[in-house]
């Protein structure tokens, strides 16, 4: 272990040198993709120019990593959607997760495995709070540590160099106050200063949505915020914070049943470090049970919410679909950015929703900066989308039975968008749904309810929009022949990257919307394209693909692309003292990690 110890000492020395020089985050270009959507503002904008609109057509395949097969295959677990995590790229190492809760670290240059960490999924089956879903949508990196939430809600921190456990917070979803439903975990926590902020998912398990903060030193809970009232209801539920948003308080909101649940935080959480505010969206009310039993707007489901990061106190909310019966939440991401409107700069929260609207809100007040922009195809049979206080607060899904409604419950917009140069990039997909009555399982109980499904015979396609947020005008559109869901949009080097549901990768000119290149893979497109540098400083592009139920359930691949040798000007990559130091740290990190694996395998 002397080599590793010496390497650790050298890393510490180099970091001390970095402390006396300007921080890399103020420099160009960047090397590392740390967060699920690049940064804690969720912009999906990666500011490098080594791979750009002029040379993206020259990229060549460098390696392909075949993801291992699922070793568990629990028969009653909901089918996976395959690779949905955006691969992180840090100090020459790639990190990603499989749906069956395996974290894998690869050498960015060669695709060689450095380490794997597998959660024992079979432990979940005995945990009374687990809704049987295996899904991993994001992991994150902070200060030498990889963080993720396993499918049973336990939070795991791993050493980024060797994959060893740093800590585990178990039972996050056990004995939740006011809850009779079930949960599953899929999104990485947000790390800010000494706080770890996490949230589970609920789906038809009917769990009571919440966000929870832990102290990183003690791992004790600091605060917990609930998105919906407890089972049995709360007649004054809206009256404490209801005046902080766009909906009037409603006496008896949610009713008084044991069916209350939902409001899960499905999206990536964004943070304003200056105002110490976190932003996220909440999921819809449960759609499988009769909405007439939950009168009122059903706050704070199907909303955008701002909380104080230190206390969990609500700052504001904006509900996009009061008394939602169409499953029309905002999925995947909200974006925090500075936008220019009439020559003035404003902090804004931006989000694309399954209602097919794009919302731009003042980050400080939650007020609309623009009227919501409707994208895509004509909507129908969606009574409460963007309806505010004019929504029908007592409507039932019975009004939809036997009908088709559009957009369906997965969009509209059902992915993480991107923001760069005062422009938003979102893809609207045309997918319509139908509603029938029949047997459902909710909170683990069989009952009569409502079943949502894709409308038969509908042509499914998608359109990408470039939206100028100064006035919400459309700069250009790009048509796609297939659906677009789950895979985020990436902006880098003047190129927009997108992977549609049929796993076609598009490279599009950021300024004109013209196609620069496309690559057809196969399997399912559900994960976002990312970029990052190898330990030698060569910029590469990484595409997750496959998995899911397209033709056959495949475990998926990670494909890596690079520019041909000699086509990159090294001076465009290495320019500052910090960047050189980072490359040295990356090299030491990779060598140390490989050495650890070698020692383990030769014991």
Pairwise CA distance, residues 283 & 355, whole Å:
13
pLDDT per position as a tens digit, 166-208: 999 999 999 999 999 999 999 999 999 999 999 999 978 899 9
The average pLDDT across 464-472 equals 98
Q: How many domains, in total, are found in the chain?
A: 2
Residue 594: half-sphere exposure toward Cβ, Cα within 13 Å: 15
Same domain as 6, residue 76: no
Do 207 and 152 belong together in one domain? yes
Q: What is the pLDDT of residue 547?
A: 63
Task: Report residue 323's pLDDT band, with 50, 70 and 90 as the boundaries.
Answer: very high
Between 529 and 595, the higher pLDDT residue: 529
560 and 455 both lie in a single domain: yes
The CA distances from residue 503 to 82, 437, 529, in Å, are: 12, 34, 11
Domain that holds residue 484: 28-574
Q: Express each pLDDT in 223-262 by its tens digit.
A: 999 999 999 999 889 899 999 999 999 999 999 999 999 9
Task: Assess whether 554 and 585 both reside in one domain.
Answer: no
E strand intervals along 199-246 = 210-215, 221-226
| Residue-level pLDDT at 265 | 96
Phi, psi of 601 (to 5 degrees): -75, -20
Tell me, what's the pLDDT at 28?
A: 44
What's residue 378's pLDDT?
A: 87
- Is the predicted pLDDT of residue 520 greater than 80, yes or no? yes
pLDDT of residue 524: 86
Question: Over pLDDT 70: what percentage of the chain?
Answer: 87
Q: Looking at the predicted structure, is the pLDDT value of residue 89 above 50?
A: yes
Residues 147 and 10 in one domain: no
| Residue 305 exposure: Cα atoms within 13 Å on the Cβ side | 32
At residue 553, the pLDDT reads 60
Nearest by Cα to 444 from 218, 86, 129:
129
Q: Edge to edge, what strands does the sheet with 433-442 contain?
A: 404-405, 433-442, 445-454
> pTM for this structure?
0.90
CA 303/CA 386 separation, integer angstroms = 11
Torsions phi, psi of 384, nearest 5?
-115, 10
Whether residue 235 sits in one domain with residue 253: yes
Domain CATH number, residue 564: 2.140.10.10
Query: 329-342, pLDDT tens digit by residue?
Result: 998 999 999 999 99
Rounded alpha-carbon distances, angstroms, from residue 199 to 41, 149, 153, 154, 402? 17, 9, 8, 11, 35
User: According to the model, what pLDDT value does residue 521 have?
Assistant: 81
Distance CA 371, CA 357 (A): 10
Do 512 and 585 lie in a common domain? no
Cα dihedral: 447, 450, 456, 459 (round 10)? -130
Reply yes or no on whether the pLDDT at 586 is more than 70.
no
Whether residue 48 sits in one domain with residue 18: no
Do 448 and 405 fall within a single domain? yes
Q: Which comes out higher in pLDDT, residue 523 or 41?
A: 41
Percent of the chain whose pLDDT exceeds 90: 80
At residue 111, the pLDDT reads 98
Same domain, 211 and 311: yes
The answer on 590 and 524 residing in a single domain is no
Over residues 341-353, the mean pLDDT reads 96
Give residue 29's pLDDT.
Answer: 53
pLDDT level of residue 309 (50, 70, 90 thresholds): very high
Environment class of 52 (CB within 10 Å of its CB; exposed 0-12, middle 13-18, buried 19+): middle
Q: How many residues does the chain have?
A: 603
SS3 30: coil
Distance CA 148, CA 144 (A): 14
Same domain, 596 and 486: no
């Amino acid at each position: 272990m002397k080599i590793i110890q010496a390497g650790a000492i050298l890393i510490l020395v180099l970091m001390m040198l970095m402390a006396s020089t300007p921080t890399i985050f103020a420099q160009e270009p960047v090397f590392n993709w740390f967060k699920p959507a690049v940064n804690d503002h969720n912009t999906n904008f990666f500011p490098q120019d080594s791979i750009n609109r002029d040379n993206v057509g020259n990229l060549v395949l460098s390696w392909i990593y075949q993801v291992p097969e699922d070793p568990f295959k629990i028969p009653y677990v909901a089918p996976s959607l395959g690779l949905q995590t955006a691969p992180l790229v840090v100090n020459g190492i790639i990190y990603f997760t499989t749906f069956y809760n395996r974290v894998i670290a690869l050498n960015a240059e060669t695709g060689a495995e450095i380490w794997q960490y597998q959660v024992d999924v079979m432990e979940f089956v005995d945990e009374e709070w687990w809704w049987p879903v295996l899904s991993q949508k994001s992991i994150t990196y902070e200060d030498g540590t990889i963080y993720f939430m396993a499918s049973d809600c336990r939070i795991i921190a791993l050493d980024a160099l060797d994959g060893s456990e740093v800590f585990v917070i178990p039972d996050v979803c056990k004995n939740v106050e006011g809850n009779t439903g079930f949960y599953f975990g899929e999104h990485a926590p947000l790390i800010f200063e000494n706080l770890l902020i996490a949230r589970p998912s609920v789906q038809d398990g009917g769990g009571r949505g919440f966000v929870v903060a832990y102290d990183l030193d003690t791992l004790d809970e600091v605060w917990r915020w609930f998105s919906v009232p407890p089972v049995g209801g709360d007649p004054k539920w809206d009256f404490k914070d209801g005046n902080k948003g766009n909906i009037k308080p409603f006496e008896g909101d949610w009713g008084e049943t044991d069916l209350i649940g939902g409001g899960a935080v499905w999206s990536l959480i964004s943070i304003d470090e200056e105002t110490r505010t976190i932003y996220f969206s909440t999921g819809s009310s449960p759609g499988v049970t009769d909405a007439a039993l939950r009168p009122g707007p059903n706050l704070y489901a199907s909303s955008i919410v701002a909380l104080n990061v230190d206390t969990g106190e609500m700052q504001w909310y904006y509900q996009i679909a009061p008394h939602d019966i169409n499953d029309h939440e905002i999925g995947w991401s909200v974006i925090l950015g500075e936008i220019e409107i009439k020559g003035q700069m404003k902090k804004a929260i931006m989000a694309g929703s399954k209602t097919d609207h794009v919302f731009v809100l003042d980050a400080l007040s939650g007020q609309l900066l623009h009227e919501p922009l409707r994208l895509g195809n004509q909507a129908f049979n969606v009574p409460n989308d963007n309806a505010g206080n004019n929504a029908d607060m007592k409507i039932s899904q019975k009004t939809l039975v036997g009908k088709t409604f559009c957009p369906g419950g997965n969009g509209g917009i059902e992915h993480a968008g991107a923001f760069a140069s005062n422009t938003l990039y979102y893809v609207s997909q045309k997918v319509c749904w139908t509603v029938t009555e029949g047997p459902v399982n909710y909170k683990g109980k069989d009952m009569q309810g409502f079943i949502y499904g894709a409308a038969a015979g509908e042509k499914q396609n998608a359109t990408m929009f470039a939206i100028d947020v100064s006035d919400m005008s459309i700069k250009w559109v790009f048509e796609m022949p297939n659906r677009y869901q789950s895979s985020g949009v990436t902006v880098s080097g003047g190129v927009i990257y997108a992977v549609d549901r049929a796993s076609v990768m598009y490279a599009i000119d950021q300024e004109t919307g013209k196609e620069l290149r496309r690559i057809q893979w196969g399997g399912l497109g559900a994960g976002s394209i990312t970029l990052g540098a190898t330990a030698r400083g060569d910029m590469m592009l990484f595409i997750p693909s496959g998995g899911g139920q397209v033709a056959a359930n495949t475990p998926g691949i990670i494909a890596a692309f690079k520019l041909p040798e000699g086509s990159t000007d090294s001076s465009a990559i290495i320019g500052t003292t910090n960047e050189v130091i980072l490359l040295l740290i990356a090299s030491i990190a990779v060598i140390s990690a490989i050495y650890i694996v070698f020692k383990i395998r030769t014991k």
